[in-house]
C-alpha cells in the first residue's frame, strides 16, 4: 500500500498521519469533520490470493462483530467500518477500514522503562478489568500481548485488536490457528487442528497475562530465556514438561511474582483455577496505595511518555509472518507457527529428510538456520529441521508443506527464483518475499519444492521462475 497523504478522505473521515504498518494491515491517525480523533485500520486485499483475502475478511468480520456486541471502559471502541471502492487507487480498492477510538501508544512502547510497583499495579489492574469483562461475557481474546494493550491520553488502559477474539461455546471456543509466539500457552503447540480451527479457552489469555505481568516489572523481558521467539518457545516447553523451573526476574515484586506464577501454571487444568475475575479480586483485596486509579496516584500519558528512554532493552516481538520452517520445539511437537499482524499458525510433521539433490540445475544453495543451537548441530535432530513449501504464493498451512525436511548446511539444487511470493520473516526479523525453487531427491513425492530466501545466505545468479499457478 502506498502511503496516504494527509487529507485523504475515507468516508467521513480524513487521514492525518501514519501510525503503524505490518502484515496485512496499516493504521493511520484520522479525524472527523467535527474534530474527533480516531485510528483508521486498513485491512488490505489487493494482491492477495482468494484464500488470503478470505482470511482478511474473516478477521475484519470478527472484529466488527465483537465491537458491535461489546462495550466496556477497558475495551477500545469500534466507531465505524466500511469497504472502500476506489478504482483509481488499486491498492485501496476493496480494502476494509475499521474506525476506532485513538490511543496515545501501546503498552509495548512503555516496557523498556520498567515500572514502579504503583504504576505496574494500576496497569495490570486495568488489564484484568478488561479481561474479566471479556471472559464474563463469554469471549476469549486470543491475542493478548503488550501491543494490543493501549494507553489512552489520560493514561488509562484499553484492550484492542479483536481479530482473533472468539465466542465460547460451553468451556471452549474454536479459532484460526494464529497467535504470537511469546504469548501462546504450552498446550497450543500441540493442539490438534480441526475443521473449525484450534480449541481455545480463557486459560490461554491467563497465560498471556502472566507473561505481561513479568514484562511490566522486568523492563520487557520474558520469564522464559532465549534470544528469539522460537528459542523462548522452546524454553516454555521445557518448563511445561517439567525439565526446567520457572525463573523470574528479581525486579518483579513478591506479590506480582506469585500472581504471575499462578497465571503461568504449566497446564490448562492448573491454570483454569485462576480466572481473570479471581485474579482481579486478589489485586483489589490487597488494598494498597499503589493500586489507586489513574488521575489520582496514577501517571498521566505525559508522565508515561517522559519516562520512555531514547534506547533501551526492548525485546520487540514481531507479529509478522514466520516461516513454517521454524526450528526448535515447534518442529518437535509437529507444529510450526506463523505469526500475523494480527497472527496465524499452521502445522507440519517432521517428515522425510532430504538427501543429495539431482545435478543439472541452474545453481546450488546452502540451507541456513539462523538459530545458533541448530546451526551448530550435525546430528539431523528433528527439532532443527526446516520445511519446504508446495506453493510460494500461499501462507504456510497444513496443506502447503512437503514431507521432505532440510537442515542447516544442506546443499540443494535450485532451478530459479521468484522475487514476489508470500513475504516471510525469520526469527531475527529479516523479511523477504523471495523464494527459490529447489529440486527434491529421487524417490520424493514431488520433484520440486520452494525454500524461502530467509533460509539461505546464498544469492546465485539464476533465472526468474515463471509465476506459478496458485495451488487450490
Residue 414 has a pLDDT of: 96
Domain coverage including residue 408? 336-455
**Assigned domain for 380 exists:** yes
* Cα(344)–Cα(352) distance, integer angstroms: 25
Mean pLDDT for 382-403 is 80
Q: Which of 101, 119, 153 is the last residue of a domain?
A: 101
**Which of 17-21, 83-87, 361-365 is predicted with the least confidence, judged by mean pLDDT?**
83-87
- Give the pLDDT band (50/70/90) at residue 367: very high
**Assigned domain for 320 exists:** no
Burial label, 84 (beta-carbon count in 10 A; 0-12, 13-18, 19+): middle
**Assigned domain for 65 exists:** yes
Do 114 and 94 fall into the same domain? no
Do 91 and 132 fall into the same domain? no
Give the tens place of pLDDT for each residue, 63-82: 787 877 778 889 998 888 88
Do 225 and 139 fall into the same domain? yes
The listed range with the strongest mean pLDDT (180-194, 256-270, 301-315, 327-341) is 256-270
Please answer whether residues 343 and 164 qualify as being in contact, where contact means their C-beta atoms are separated by less than 8 angstroms. Answer: yes
Q: Which of 264, 285, 306 is the last residue of a domain?
A: 306
Residue 399 has a pLDDT of: 66
* Cα(393)–Cα(426) distance, integer angstroms: 17
Do 96 and 174 fall into the same domain? no
Of residues 189 and 276, more confidently modeled? 276
- Give the pLDDT band (50/70/90) at residue 292: very low
**Assigned domain for 321 exists:** no
Give how many domains the chain has, as a whole number.
Answer: 3
Do 296 and 397 fall into the same domain? no
Do 41 and 133 fall into the same domain? no
Cell numbers linked to 328: 526448535
Please answer whether residues 464 and 435 qualify as being in contact, where contact means their C-beta atoms are separated by less than 8 angstroms. Answer: no
Do 267 and 379 fall into the same domain? no
Residue 335 has a pLDDT of: 25
- Across the chain, mean pLDDT equals 78
Do 34 and 86 fall into the same domain? yes
pTM: 0.59
* Cα(339)–Cα(424) distance, integer angstroms: 10
Q: Which of 47, 78, 101 is the last residue of a domain?
A: 101
Mean pLDDT for 419-431 is 74
Provide Rg for the chain, Cα atoms.
Answer: 23
Please answer whether residues 346 and 332 qualify as being in contact, where contact means their C-beta atoms are separated by less than 8 angstroms. Answer: no
pLDDT-above-70 percentage for the chain: 75
**Assigned domain for 362 exists:** yes
**Assigned domain for 314 exists:** no
* Cα(30)–Cα(75) distance, integer angstroms: 19
Do 126 and 113 fall into the same domain? yes
**Assigned domain for 374 exists:** yes
CATH code of residue 242:
1.10.510.10
Residue 251 has a pLDDT of: 94
User: Is pLDDT above 60 for 86?
Assistant: yes
Do 68 and 116 fall into the same domain? no
Do 139 and 257 fall into the same domain? yes
Work out the number of other CB atoms within 10 angstroms of the CB of residue 169: 10
Residue 307 has a pLDDT of: 34
Do 130 and 69 fall into the same domain? no
Cell numbers linked to 125: 489492574
Burial label, 344 (beta-carbon count in 10 A; 0-12, 13-18, 19+): buried
Amino acid at each position: 500500500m502506498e502511503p496516504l497523504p494527509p487529507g485523504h478522505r475515507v468516508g467521513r473521515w480524513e487521514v492525518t498521519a501514519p501510525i503503524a504498518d505490518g502484515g496485512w494491515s496499516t493504521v493511520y491517525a484520522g479525524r472527523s469533520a467535527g474534530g474527533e480523533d480516531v485510528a483508521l485500520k486498513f485491512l488490505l486485499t489487493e494482491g492477495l490470493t482468494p484464500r488470503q483475502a478470505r482470511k482478511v475478511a474473516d478477521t475484519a468480520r470478527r472484529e466488527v462483530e465483537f465491537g458491535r456486541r461489546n462495550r466496556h471502559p477497558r475495551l477500545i471502541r469500534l466507531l465505524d467500518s466500511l469497504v472502500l471502492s476506489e478504482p483509481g487507487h488499486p491498492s485501496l480498492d476493496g480494502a476494509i477500514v475499521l474506525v476506532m477510538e485513538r490511543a496515545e501508544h501501546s503498552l509495548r512502547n512503555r516496557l523498556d522503562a520498567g515500572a514502579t510497583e504503583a504504576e505496574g499495579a494500576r496497569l495490570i489492574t486495568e488489564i484484568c478489568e478488561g479481561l474479566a469483562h471479556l471472559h464474563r461475557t463469554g469471549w476469549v481474546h486470543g491475542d493478548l500481548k503488550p501491543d494490543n494493550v493501549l494507553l489512552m491520553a489520560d493514561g488509562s488502559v484499553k484492550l484492542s485488536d479483536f481479530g482473533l477474539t472468539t465466542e465460547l461455546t460451553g468451556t471452549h471456543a474454536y479459532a484460526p490457528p494464529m497467535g504470537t509466539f511469546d504469548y501462546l500457552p504450552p498446550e497450543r503447540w500441540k493442539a490438534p487442528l480441526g475443521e473449525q480451527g484450534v480449541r481455545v479457552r480463557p486459560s490461554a489469555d491467563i497465560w498471556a497475562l502472566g507473561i505481561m505481568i513479568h514484562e511490566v516489572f522486568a523492563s520487557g523481558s520474558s520469564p522464559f530465556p532465549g534470544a528469539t521467539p522460537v528459542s523462548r518457545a522452546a524454553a516454555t516447553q521445557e518448563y511445561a514438561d517439567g525439565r526446567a523451573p520457572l525463573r523470574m526476574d528479581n525486579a518483579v515484586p513478591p506479590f506480582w511474582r506469585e500472581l504471575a506464577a499462578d497465571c503461568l501454571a504449566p497446564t490448562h487444568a492448573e491454570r483454569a483455577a485462576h480466572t481473570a475475575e479471581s485474579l482481579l479480586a486478589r489485586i483489589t483485596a490487597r488494598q494498597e496505595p499503589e493500586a489507586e486509579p489513574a488521575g489520582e496516584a496514577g501517571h498521566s500519558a505525559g508522565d508515561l511518555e517522559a519516562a520512555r528512554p531514547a534506547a533501551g532493552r526492548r525485546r520487540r516481538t514481531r507479529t509478522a509472518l514466520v516461516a513454517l520452517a521454524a526450528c526448535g520445539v515447534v518442529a518437535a511437537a509437529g507444529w510450526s507457527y506463523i505469526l500475523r499482524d494480527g497472527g496465524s499458525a499452521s502445522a507440519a510433521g517432521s517428515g522425510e529428510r532430504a538427501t543429495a539433490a539431482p545435478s543439472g540445475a541452474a545453481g546450488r544453495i546452502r540451507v541456513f538456520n539462523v538459530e545458533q543451537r541448530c546451526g551448530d548441530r550435525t546430528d539431523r535432530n528433528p527439532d532443527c529441521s526446516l520445511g519446504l513449501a508446495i506453493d510460494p504464493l500461499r501462507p504456510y498451512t497444513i496443506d502447503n508443506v512437503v514431507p521432505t525436511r532440510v537442515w542447516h548446511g544442506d546443499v540443494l539444487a535450485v532451478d530459479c527464483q521468484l522475487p514476489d511470493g508470500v513475504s516471510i520473516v525469520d526469527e531475527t526479523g529479516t523479511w523477504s518475499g523471495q523464494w527459490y525453487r529447489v529440486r527434491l531427491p529421487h524417490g520424493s513425492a514431488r520433484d520440486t519444492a520452494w525454500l524461502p530466501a530467509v533460509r539461505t545466505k546464498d544469492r546465485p545468479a539464476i533465472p526468474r521462475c515463471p509465476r506459478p499457478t496458485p495451488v487450490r
